[in-house]
Every structure is written in C-alpha cells, then in structure tokens.
C-alpha cells in the first residue's frame, strides 16, 4: 500500500540555503531518501517552495477564487513529502521516524487506490 508522508515544519526554524546549517539538514534528508530507495519503498518525494509561494484555489458557485498563501493559520507548514510503498502502517511509521523533521511533524496518510472503484 502507498503512504504519503507529509512533512510539517516551522518555516522560521528551517535553515536558509547557503547557511552553515543548511548542508547538514540536507544531508540528513539524503540519508533518509537513500534508505527508502535501498529498501525499495520509495515512490516519490520532493521539497516544496516556501508556503509564501502557495496559492489556494476554491470553486464556489461555479466561480474560481484564488488566494495567495495557504489557508491554514498555523506555525507549521507543509514543507515536503514522500510517497512510499509499505506493507503496512507500522512500516510506514518506522520510515516516517527516519525523516529529520526537527521540531516539526510527519503525518502518515494511506493513499486511496481509486483504481479499485473504476
């Protein structure tokens, strides 16, 4: 089963590219990514641009509305994700614990296989 691991972090605590702290942070993510690939569970994963670049889209009454930024008012923002193919939730949780989210959190969500309903 596929699981999406959503990485939430406080943007104020993420080291900026080019700072001395940025390299070790990226190295820690690289270690996790290499483990996922070595265990053949890796499907996809990427970092996201800062939440300030987000656009929220809603359709109300047939009209498209857009808002700059994310909808949620929270300190932690979605910073990246992995999609892993794991045999069960316990396995997905073990892999999620390898993600260096610092003071943030990793949300583990099963991916709904809609092909079963077609």
Residue 106: predicted pLDDT: 96
Domain count, the chain: 1
Domain holding 106: CATH number?
3.30.70.1060
Enumerate the H helices of the chain as residue ranges.
22-38, 89-96
Domain containing 109: what range?
A: 2-117
Residue 43: predicted pLDDT: 98
Distance CA 3, CA 111 (A): 5
Residue 50: predicted pLDDT: 83
Residue 117: predicted pLDDT: 87
Q: Is 79:104 a contact under the CB 8 Å cutoff?
A: yes
Q: How confident is the chain (118 residues) per 10-residue block, as mean pLDDT?
A: 95 90 94 98 94 88 87 78 97 96 94 89
pTM, full prediction: 0.87
Residue 12: predicted pLDDT: 86
Parallel, antiparallel, or unpaired for β 105-110 and 77-85?
A: unpaired
């Amino acid at each position: 089963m596929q699981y999406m691991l959503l990485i939430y972090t406080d943007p104020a605590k993420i080291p900026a590219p080019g700072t001395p702290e940025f390299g070790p942070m990226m190295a820690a993510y690289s270690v996790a990514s290499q483990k996922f690939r070595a265990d053949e569970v890796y499907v996809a994963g990427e970092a996201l641009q800062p939440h300030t670049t987000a656009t929220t889209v809603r359709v109300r009454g047939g009209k498209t509305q857009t808002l700059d930024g994310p909808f949620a008012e929270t300190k932690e923002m979605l910073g990246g994700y992995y999609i892993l193919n794991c045999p069960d939730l316990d396995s997905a949780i073990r892999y999620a614990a390898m993600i260096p989210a610092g003071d943030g959190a990793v949300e583990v969500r099963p991916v709904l296989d809609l092909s079963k309903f077609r």
